[in-house]
Amino acid sequence: METSPTSGLETQVHQQLRDCSQIFLALADPIRQDIIMMLTKHDTLNVAQIVERSPMSRSAISHHLKILRQADLISSNKVATEIFYSLDIENPVSLLKAFIETTERIIELKSISEAE
């Protein structure tokens, strides 16, 4: 039985897709996108500062921050009684890059295979 040259890569890309699912979920929402953009302009912001810049309630912002934290897109740092949030996207970007690179390799191998 002949296996496809891409079968191992397809298994790999499937796992990478699963690994990126929290990132995709977090990035899919416009409010979370707005929070990320705020954090690109400011090193750190607390919930009150984010609420000031958003039409959302404090509880809604807290919910969105939780999802962003779960996706490892932001980090939090407690100073006295305040929690400050900052962008922390190195690991998620690495996961997304790996997914894209594997996908590109599959496309490349399939086009080579089709040309033969």
pLDDT in tens, 82-100: 999 999 999 999 999 999 9
pLDDT value for 6: 75
Residue 1 has pLDDT above 50, yes or no: no
The pLDDT tens digits of the residues spanning 25-83 come to: 999 999 999 999 999 999 999 999 999 999 999 999 999 999 999 999 999 999 999 99
Q: Which residues on adjacent β-strands are paired with residue 97? A: none
pLDDT value for 7: 82
pLDDT value for 110: 86
CA distances from 20 to 80, 89, 109 (A): 33, 12, 23
Interhelix angle for 90-115 vs 7-27, to 10°? 140
pLDDT value for 88: 95
For the domain spanning 13-106, the CATH number is: 1.10.10.10
